[in-house]
Structure 1
Amino acid sequence: MIQITDSLQESVRNEALKGLCVAPGQQKTLSPWLFYDERGSRLFEDITRLDEYYLTRTEREIFAVNAKQIVASLGGPVSFVELGAGTSTKTGLLLCAASHQQNGVLYQPIDVSSSALEEASVSLREKVPTVRIRPLVANYITDGYTIERDLTQEGACRVMALYIGSSIGNFAPHEAIEILSNLRSQLQPGDGLLLGTDLRPGFGKTIAQLEAAYDDAEGVTAEFNRNVLVRLNRELDANFHLDSFSHVARWNEAASRIEMHLESLCEQTVHIAGQTIRFAAGETIHTENSHKFSADSLQALFQEAGFTVSRTWNDPRQWFAVTLARVA
């Protein structure tokens, strides 16, 4: 049975008003977790299959080659908790490997999209019959969550916390540290964190390839970006005109990140949840960051959050990293 937190709907309203009701001249923002209503989750799954979006297939390749080794790296039976699980397509590779190494697998996916979790639950039970799934619909940033521990295994069962897909890159460094520190507070010595991160340009990866991954030729990412306005129209009685906003994706070298914006094409006024928001022509709503990491910035992130790096797996092109860190 899928659990849904009561505060999720209120969080949508609070997050939208906090980001849009700013002083004139200040940057308007919308948090990227607002993308993931049912339609947004489907659109993101479409994005992951695009030629330009190399991140998902590259990380999946790392899991396909190294799943047995990753699961065995904690030295005993493991259970899994995943932040921002989505439809868990890559996670199935790890769960399948674990099912061959131990007696049953406990998996706790946490996501804001109930439809994504429902799809994941059906798919995973078909692929891994011994998996026990405890899905939780919640915003792991604003809502409290409790990690379940598997008490059915013989001997100590470690928790492997998954935060994959380079989702950590959506957050500013201080926010990323806070997310991982909150996760760390529920882990015990012997537990681990498996973090997937996209790496900075280099080793043949160009800025043009990065920008194309967030602004594809078919316009799927643009539709995904504008869908956040569709959600606000539906859930907060807003009146955004979608044709009045264009999708923008650009590389910010100083901050080492791709930025996604929605640019107002004209001077306009929008009403949302009883508030009036004014836009100048050319003004943007900053909707998402995707930070790109180096070995040094990853090391600093883990250290600040209370983890020690244990092992890193890369794809042959060195474009993406999957890092196992232990509780420090």
Structure 2
Amino acid sequence: MNIASYSNSFGAENHSFLGARAALIHEVQRGLLKRPRSLVPWMLYDAEGSRLFERITALPEYYPTRTEREIFAESANEIVAAVCSRNPAPVRLLELGAGTAAKTGILLDALSRLRKRVVYIPVDVSPDALDAACDSIACLLPHVQLQPLVANYVTHPPRLGSFNGTTFAIYIGSSIGNFSPEEARTILRNLRSQLRAGDALLLGTDLVKDEATLLRAYDDRQGVTAAFNLNLLHRLNRELFANFDTTCFRHLARWNCAESRIEMHLESTRDQHVFIAGAQLGIHFEASETIHTENSYKFTHARIYTLLEDSGFCFQEVWTDRREWYAVTLARAT
């Protein structure tokens, strides 16, 4: 089922999708002309990147998705009761970076048992991912109203219409960890600007743990994470007519203890020159030079609370797994 069939607002939001190529060119010019070279993480999530990431979430080494799902399975009723306790009105669930909404259905199912009217607004830069999210929820919960929104919520905060009820925003999967502390605050502050006082935010965050476990999660034996990272170069070849030889780059995962983050890099295995026609850009890479493609920050509880407070939210409650590997934190817009 195509995403356009779900919402009349799709056309109005399509400008974000149409502007994706211009944003891609801008980020390539900004990130590859400087040293050290870097690219922003949203560039990883084209249709193929989203598909590969879904494979990553099912890998035995990649614990965050599995652990967060376990928390939802055990505590969804408690979570939504805490969200809805203050107001009997309808609820709309807004999800930043929805992906395929594999875990979101657990929360929507629990919400549907408490409220007659539930609206789901998945936000994602990938129309293909939104198609999958809406198909999944439509099959599981046909009575939930779907209002998908194609947008890059990092560069263009989602604009919400008025709603006579509670807005329940979720940002799960530890996606907030892909951004620097400054960027994370900006994302949450932008979200807060669209919420009313008392609206809720559920934030999923990966917690600090031993280095070996972290590195395995981002450099799996099957090489799926490597393919996901290298797909960024394939994307530039496809969309910007670049001539990256992907066999001359390799995936690297590093733990940066000082910054409390896993870093993903693409390392050039030899001296080489690359031309990106769509960005009118020629770049020389030296052997061992890297492109920093993604971070995954790991949190302490204190850091989570500080981030929320700095972004206009107040802590309400937290749920973790038994190993204290992952946290799901509920906060309110102040």
Q: TM-score range by the shorter chain?
A: over 0.9
Quote the RMSD (CA, aligned, Å). 1.1
Contact 1:79 1:159 in 2 (8 A): yes
Q: Give 1:133's aligned residue.
A: 146
Q: Give 1:170's aligned residue.
A: 178
Q: Give 1:17's aligned residue.
A: 29
Structure 1 CA distance, aligned partners of 2:182 and 2:217?
A: 25
Structure 2 CA distance, aligned partners of 1:14 and 1:144?
A: 18
Q: Kindly provide the CA deviation profile for residues 19-62 of structure 1, in whole angstroms up to 9, marking residues without a partner as x.
A: 1112xxx2100111001111100000000000000000100011
Residue 200 of structure 1 pairs with residue 213 of structure 2? no
Q: TM-score, normalised by structure 1?
A: 0.94
Residue 181 of structure 1 pairs with residue 193 of structure 2? no
* 1:149 CA drift (Å): 4.6
Which amino acid is 1:56 matched to? T
Which amino acid is 1:242 matched to? T
Task: Name the one with the larger helix percent.
Answer: 2
Q: TM-score, normalised by structure 2?
A: 0.92
Which amino acid is 1:260 matched to? M
Which amino acid is 2:22 matched to? E
Residue 62 of structure 1 pairs with residue 71 of structure 2? yes
* 1:142 CA drift (Å): 1.0
Residue 30 of structure 1 pairs with residue 36 of structure 2? no
Structure 2 CA distance, aligned partners of 1:107 and 1:145?
A: 14
Q: Give 2:7's aligned residue.
A: none
- Aligned partner (choices 275, 288, 291) of residue 285 of structure 1: 291
Unpaired stretches in structure 2, ≥5 consecutive residues: 5-9
Residue 327 of structure 1 pairs with residue 333 of structure 2? yes
* 1:16 CA drift (Å): 1.6
Structure 1 CA distance, aligned partners of 2:118 and 2:158?
A: 20
Which amino acid is 2:122 matched to? P
Structure 1 CA distance, aligned partners of 2:161 and 2:220?
A: 39
- Aligned partner (choices 264, 280, 296) of residue 268 of structure 2: 264
Which amino acid is 1:315 matched to? D
Contact 1:106 1:150 in 2 (8 A): no
Contact 2:91 2:117 in 1 (8 A): no
Secondary structure at the counterpart of residue 314 of structure 2 = strand
Q: Give 2:313's aligned residue.
A: 307
Identity of counterpart residues, as a percentage?
Answer: 53
Which amino acid is 2:100 matched to? T
Q: Give 2:94's aligned residue.
A: 81
* 1:245 CA drift (Å): 0.4
Q: Kindly provide the CA deviation profile for residues 159-210 of structure 1, in whole angstroms up to 9, marking residues without a partner as x.
A: 1111000000001101101110110111111101100000001xxxx21110
Equivalences, count: 316
* 1:136 CA drift (Å): 1.2
Q: Kindly provide the CA deviation profile for residues 98-133 of structure 1, in whole angstroms up to 9, marking residues without a partner as x.
A: 111111210111111111100111110110111111
